[in-house]
Amino acid sequence: MAEYDLNDPTDQDIMKGQFNMYTAEEWEEYIELASSLNYSYKNVNILKTAQKKAGIAKYLSIKVIHWVLSLVDQLDAHDEEE
């Protein structure tokens, strides 16, 4: 994931746009993958929160969106390794 400035409104809009592109079904796949890789409870739980708010980033803080997108990058990188 690119380095984003959490205080820059343009970067915030970019991250919200990226978050909104994921569907609830895609979040479910990430949750299952994170669980199978023994990710911590907090990480799996935040992915479940993302699933509930799929497509509506305005209800999540920018820090949470950044955290979730970082997890997605980690999970995608792990998926590509296999």
Residue of 23, 9, 18 whose CA lies nearest to 69? 18
Token pair recorded at residue 2? 């690119």
Residue entry with tokens 């023994």: 38
pLDDT exceeds cutoff 90 at 79: no
Average pLDDT over residues 11-38: 95
3-state secondary structure of 43: helix
Give dist(CA 75, CA 44) in Å, integer. 12
For 45-73, how does the pLDDT look when each residue is reduced to its tens digit (9 = 90+)? 999 999 999 999 999 999 999 999 999 99
Residue 82 pLDDT: 67
What is the reported pTM?
Answer: 0.91
